[in-house]
Structure 1
Amino acid sequence: MSSAEDREMLERIGRLASQINRHRNQQAGFVPPPPQRPSNHHHAGYYSGWRRGVHHPYRGAHRGGRVPVHRNRTLVLNANGASKPADHPETDSGAASDASTSSWVTKNDRHLQLINSSVYQKESQSRVQAMEQTRQQKLAMKNKQERAALLNHLNRTGGGHSAANKQASDGKYTINIQGVEFIVTKNGSKLVKAPGDGNSAKATPKMATIGGVKFYRSKNGNLYRHGIVKAQRQSGATKKVNVPCNQFSMTGSCSKGPRCRYIHDPHKVAICKDYLLGSCPSGQDCDLSHDATPERTPTCLHFGRDSCTKTDCKYAHVKLSPGAPVCHAFGRYGYCDKGASCTDKHAFECPDFTNTGVCKVKGCKLPHRERASVLRKAVSSNSNGNNDVEMEDVSSDEDGQSVDSDDVDSDEVDEFIGQDDDDGGVDILEQRDFIEF
């Protein structure tokens, strides 16, 4: 930049700064004090203003109506004149741009900088990408360190005491933590409760430290490594699955909101039970449905016996066989896409318990109704030695399934770390396969 351009830029800056200061002084009601007469005696901290015949009554005085220049001023370039300070609110990034033009941007970093807007945008994007890359590298390093620490601990404590060894069916490590037996999976990222363990989910400690590596409890009583949980939460990604949300479908609302991984379809919520009984006090503000369609209304029991006398009956009039099982979709979500063509009974009760006599969902809140025919089949099945029941993994959105509100969501973390163990991480194959803490 030539010297002429430098002078022109400095003059322009000076003019704009003067206009800005004058405008601010006018808004603040600033009135310049009158010139003071020189005094023969000097007070402490007072400058007389007489110096070689030049009269300066006080510091910052102006001549010819010129407004004094103040320090710590902010420069905003605007060819049309100064604008109000309220038109340029400060941003969190410490950078401010002009409202009428986007050619220059002022940035408050370690120093006040005047940057071209196109250059500033490129630098901002590059900085964000570099920060994300650094974060990913730190997470990968932390993940590698935790896996190595866990492997060293298992190898160090795995020697000797062969009498205490307990061989797992799949050849993996089993760990006993406070009386609860776990199987090491996901190459040390997840500790799964061993099959047949009778302890409840609350028996699992909220946090366990194994070889200096922290593990956190999930909603179903398993344990997840700290690095995996932190990486999953920082990613902010929620992978959606094509399954209705149980809580949203049965109540009309979900505490997880947009973070819920299941489908929230407002057109497929359950029927309001108060509306079925006659009237709903919430009216149009009710989160549940007031549309009595065959897809969401229970089957009329009296119609099945040819004894329904109500002309305005809101229940579904469908002919079913006497031994028809309870519809799983309707029992779990209060809505069945098959509607009147469904051959199963629509009822607000646990379909697993009603149909088989056993509920596989821990903490199920649906009514469990016993049927004599189902009980007879269950007794016959137990007499044949077929009485092993495997509990299902608790869904993160099942009402009442959470051991604690801040427990790890097992479904989301499983989606994050993948479904197989062969992910190229720490391989735990040797040494002793049973460690007790």
Structure 2
Amino acid sequence: DSRSRYIKIGSITYRASRNKLSRTRKRSLPPTPTTSRGSSRQQRILVIRGTTYHMDVSGKVLRRAPASSQSPGASLSRIDIGGKTFVERLPGVLSQTPSSETRTYLSRTINRSIHRMRTVNTRKLERRSDRYCMFFNRFGRCNKGASCTYIHDPEKIAVCTRQVIFFLEFLRGTCKLSDCPFSHKVAPEKMPVCSFFLKGRCTSNPCPYRHVKVNAKAEVCRDFAVRGFCTEGIKCKRQHVLVCPEYAANKKCPRGNRCFLAHRDQAAKRKHCEKSASPVDLEQRSVPQWQ
């Protein structure tokens, strides 16, 4: 059609006929310099429903061409082009609405945010896929369930806390919890050091506790204390004790009284309380309820 023209809106080129706009592919916009009111700046010409409009260089204002240069037709009060909305503010002059600009900006922002979030989540999943879940290892449960990006390995769950407090009662068959979340399987990677062994007075044979003597000034094994599992097992040169590693190293703990691990100056008090407290009280105090 010889009457067809090419216009460019934003970065998209359209073919304009008498009553429609068609998006073109891989075709550059031919220069169509026109002048209006003495201006030498380039404008774009649109033919919409048989009416010719001039779009200014900013792409935000449409001006109806003089009636003498086109066939008579009704003036449009609203035009939607390429996701942009133009509304007639003055006779023959249509301006892009702020809401249209806002929608375009928000749409681009949302798309960027979604892309960024997907990229970050993918990177986190790739980075964390080889690490074990601290909560699942230490407490035998994780509220995130299948959505957790860390590994949930039943073999790495810490030994039943009643073992440490009540002298291995589950080994004697006295752990009555049918749904106990902790492991009832003794392994060197999960057991604390034997205090009697350190004093040279252990008479248990076999003893389920760890018989490894390390330097008295060695740091507390964070993996064992916090996660309940140390991959190094008997080869670990750090202390396998159930005390707070932060408090042991710095004499202070950011969690304060909310910390579920023993602080050194609380050890004597905790030992005294364990003699008089009930098993339920001890379990609730030793294992916090993570929400």
Query: TM-score, normalized by length of structure 1?
Result: 0.31
Query: TM-score, normalized by length of structure 2?
Result: 0.45
